[in-house]
Amino acid sequence: MFNQAKTIRENYLRDEMWPSIFCTGCGIGNVLNYTLRAVDAVGLDIDKVVFCSGIGCSSRLPGYIDADGLHTTHGRSIAFATGVKLAAPELSVIVFTGDGDLAGIGGNHFIHAARRNVDMTVICINNYNYGMTGGQVSPTTPVEGFSTTTPYGNIEEPFDLCRLAIGAGAPFVARWPMGFPYETVAAAEAAIRTKGFGFLEILAPCPTGFGKSNQLRDAKSNWDWYKENSITRVELAKLSPEERAANRKIVVGTLWKADKPEYIERWQGLVERLRAEEEPAGVD
């Protein structure tokens, strides 16, 4: 089933949107591919899925999907997604966002939706810069990373988005870079199946923005960099304590799973309880 690209294209994509706007070597198109394969594997009714996004390269993705979508304002995709879920809890909500959109102006929406455990899937495409608007430094740009606004190297410590999601209370958190398609699709499936806030960070090359500023302009070298600089949790566990302490590679895989009450169900329970309390007592 995984290789049936024709099925994915015919069932889920808008023909009139092609070709895409994405640059050569960009990973965002792959994220769309992985997500739709996960949607198909889970068996979601595409007519009951709403795709939300904010502003940025990654936020263009809902427009390519033949389904209901909201292309919202910068940083507000999770706020809109929360509104959709409150208004129509029966719908599945998937958010596409970027590192600047999610962790910059959208940071508060991110942590509070995770804290509340709102039932949605958030897929953050992290390319270490504001790719659409000129390659500026973002909240995830590595220390000493170059961008158009840090020409001498970034001196700010970046967010670890997965640690942020875990600390805020998300019950499912995973991270994968480009080059692990089967694992990324499986993680997207798990995030969608999660009853609550499922968070998947996908590290995606940006040869035009971050890559150009950091000698990773070639698409292949950019993709190879992500694989060479990441390590799975299984691989990490095999290292000695000294090697683990010295590890500087990005840890990838499923980083957190937990069970906790979901916000919409709690809210519905509260509404039902208040309605019951307001009902007049029966007349004998």
DSSP letter string, 257-273: E-----HHHHHHHHHHH
The size of the chain, in residues, is 284
CA angle, 159 then 50 then 61, to 5°: 60
Please tell me the predicted confidence (pLDDT) of residue 5.
80
The rounded distance, in Å, linking the Cα atoms of 149 and 84 is 36
The rounded distance, in Å, linking the Cα atoms of 65 and 18 is 11
Please tell me the predicted confidence (pLDDT) of residue 217.
86
Q: What are phi and psi of 152, to 5 degrees?
A: -105, 10
The rounded distance, in Å, linking the Cα atoms of 243 and 273 is 54
Q: What are phi and psi of 194, to 5 degrees?
A: -65, 130
Please tell me the predicted confidence (pLDDT) of residue 283.
55
Structure-token match 């904010």, residue found: 54
pLDDT < 70: residue spans in the chain? 1-3, 281-284
| DSSP per-residue string spanning 223-259 | HHHHHHTEEEHHHHHTS-HHHHHH--SEEEEEEEE--
Read off the amino acid at residue 236.
L
| pTM (predicted TM-score) | 0.93
Which value, to the nearest 10 degrees, does the dihedral of the CA atoms of residues 84, 85, 86, 89 take? 130
Q: Minimal CA–CA distance to 117: which of 255, 258, 256, 261?
A: 261
Please tell me the predicted confidence (pLDDT) of residue 2.
55
The rounded distance, in Å, linking the Cα atoms of 223 and 156 is 24
Q: Minimal CA–CA distance to 12: which of 23, 35, 28, 21?
A: 35
Please classify residue 3 by burial: count the beta carbons closer than 10 Å to its beta carbon, then call 0-12 exposed, 13-18 middle and 19+ buried. exposed
Please tell me the predicted confidence (pLDDT) of residue 3.
52
